[in-house]
Amino acid sequence: QRAARLQGELIALYIERELGAAGDDGESGVKGELAQLWDIVASNLKRPWTVDDLAAAFGVSPPHFHRLVREHYGTTPMRHVYRLRMEHAQEMLVMHNYPVRVVAAHVGFQNEFAFSTAFKRFAGVSPGVFRGRK
């Protein structure tokens, strides 16, 4: 049931993202372009992303990129990358039976201990407990 709910939320997020990118005004265009960048980030979570990397990929200065992300997402660029990593980790834990070290490596952590600490901070429970709730 939890996996189905998470998958439904993910589908709703993708639909919302697509509908937001379809707008004609400049603001929707920026949000759509940001969504495309987040898709690139999400497809390569192992990479040690920095604000400079993200800004360069978006074609703006790091301070301007920071302002755009804060304006459109209400958070900082690195917190958004962190959220993408943790949400993907949640999906992996629910949908697959990969060891925690594999999940950690897939979402960009060098060791499972740092990942477990970060995951617990994000989800409120350890990866093992989270997986057991599915």
Neighbours of 24 (CB within 10 A): 6
Collapsed DSSP state (helix, strand, coil) of residue 109? coil
Averaged over 43-65, what is the pLDDT? Answer: 94
DSSP state letter for 48:
-
Q: What is the mean pLDDT of the chain?
A: 88
Q: What is the pLDDT of residues 77-96, one digit of tens each?
A: 999 999 999 999 999 999 99
- Total Cβ atoms within 10 A of residue 27: 11
Looking at residue 33, its amino acid is E
Query: Structure pTM?
Result: 0.77
Q: Contact at 8 Å (CB) between 55 and 64?
A: yes
